[in-house]
Amino acid sequence: MTARIPNASIMFCTMQCNFHCCILSIHLFPYYSYQIYSSGNPTNVANPIKDASVQLDIKTMSGRLTLYQTTLCEKLQWDEIDSDVDLDRFGYLNSYNKNDVQLICCQADANMLWLVPHVVQTRFVQSLDRDMDMDIYFIWVLTRDRPKGKEVVKYERPVDPLDLPKQSDVQKVLNGSMNSFRIYNLYPRYFRVTGSGEVRPFEQEADAVSADLIMNHADLHWWSFLDTNSSDVSGYRGMTGPMAIIISEETPPQGILGDTISKFSIWGLYITFVLAVGRFIRLQCSDLRMRIPYENLPSCDRLIAICEDIYAARAEAELGVEEVLYWTLIKIYRSPHMLLEYTKPD
């Protein structure tokens, strides 16, 4: 606590200078930060699919079973595909950057054996006898590096009831009297994975993928997925399993600034910074007149002496004296008249 003699002109000039400097920093700091970020790193970078898996489930009132599942999916960049293979006959990809387009080709055979216990399979087949509702779901699970917290995206689509196979056909395949049943319009061929982590099919695409689901009977049992529309994509590399063309949109690079911009955009970051600093300046400059009686005192020697006596009483373990001195100091600050008397120059 030091004695200060108020000078109105100096205080006013100092306040004005601080105010203008803060306002200037509010505008220049975000601007130059963004310029450095933009010049050193691109706003968005490629964010390709790193891993993919597919799954087909069947559901009745008795529960849900996974028939086909594979994680053996090959991911090909669009520029790696043979030029004589026309996978985009209808020009769906003309408006997209080819660097963001990938072809996902999965193995036709499931990578898991059909190991459902016989009693469970029997009960499931019996549930199909009761004319209960049957649903089939086709699921894509895609993994990317960004955005943080949404690296894994999932697209699950229930098959339209009009496109479902007959329940009797499903029963026959499970019983072993048939080898396969057909499902129409399982999923769209083209997907778009947005920067925010959503999977959206193409709005303009009319055709969807249909497939035969085959039960392989040998020493072991497993399911296979045969794309009946594989001729539409020329059966690329002889693969007849699930196949999709996916556009993975670019996202900002990783890092504090990149993650922030990906969530709030540069304008959101700028406005947040301006509001935060503006509020800080307002707190510093508001109610200055209320602080004058306590910050601009003619002489603080007596108040300093009381504070030193409080420390001395505490050091000597004179707690009663310390408390009396403490409340004396509080009473002085609570009374403007007493504060003025105690701070008069000698």
DSSP assignment of 32-53 equals HHHHHHHHHS-S-B-----EEE
* Contact yes or no for 265/211 (Cβ under 8 A): no
Residue 26 is predicted with a pLDDT of 58
Q: How far apart are CA 132 and CA 166, in angstroms?
A: 12
pLDDT per position in the chain (346 positions), as tens?
Answer: 444 444 444 555 555 566 566 666 656 655 655 554 554 445 677 888 999 999 999 998 888 999 999 999 999 888 777 656 667 777 778 888 888 899 999 999 999 999 999 899 888 888 887 767 899 999 999 999 888 888 899 999 999 999 999 999 999 999 889 999 999 999 988 888 987 788 888 765 556 889 999 999 888 899 999 988 765 554 455 667 899 989 988 876 665 555 555 555 556 666 767 777 777 777 777 776 777 777 778 888 888 999 999 999 999 999 999 999 999 999 998 888 888 888 888 7
Output Rg (C-alpha) for the chain, integer angstroms.
Answer: 37
Q: Give residue for tokens 């105010």.
A: 19
**Strand ranges of the sheet holding 63-70, from the earlier edge strand across to the other edge:** 63-70, 51-60, 135-143, 152-158
Q: Which residues of 220-259 are buried (b: 16+ CB within 10 A; e: fewer)?
A: eebbbbebebbeebeebeebbbbbbbbbbbbbbbeeebbb
Residue 169 is predicted with a pLDDT of 93
- φ/ψ of 146, rounded to 5, equals -140, 165
Beta strands 152-158; 190-193: pairing state: unpaired
User: Residue 314 has which token pair?
Assistant: 């505490």
Residue 14 is predicted with a pLDDT of 56
* Contact yes or no for 17/111 (Cβ under 8 A): no
Give the contacts of 207 (CB within 8 A, at least 6 positions apart).
Answer: 189, 229, 232
Q: Is 195 helix (H, G, I), strand (E, B) or coil?
A: coil
Residue 323 is predicted with a pLDDT of 93
Q: How far apart are CA 69 and CA 116, in angstroms?
A: 14
Q: How many CB atoms lie within 10 A of CB 40?
A: 7
Residue 4 is predicted with a pLDDT of 44
List strand residue ranges (DSSP E) for the chain, in order. 51-60, 63-70, 73-77, 101-106, 135-143, 152-158, 180-188, 190-193, 199-201, 208-217, 221-227, 243-248
Global pTM reads 0.62
Residue 255 is predicted with a pLDDT of 57
* CA distances from residue 101 to 20, 70, 141, 201, 317 in whole angstroms, order as listed: 50, 22, 17, 14, 78
* Contact yes or no for 227/209 (Cβ under 8 A): yes
Residue 263 is predicted with a pLDDT of 55
Angle between helices 301-315 and 319-334 (to 10 degrees): 160
- Domain residue limits, the chain: 16-43+254-292, 51-248, 297-346
Residue 3 is predicted with a pLDDT of 42
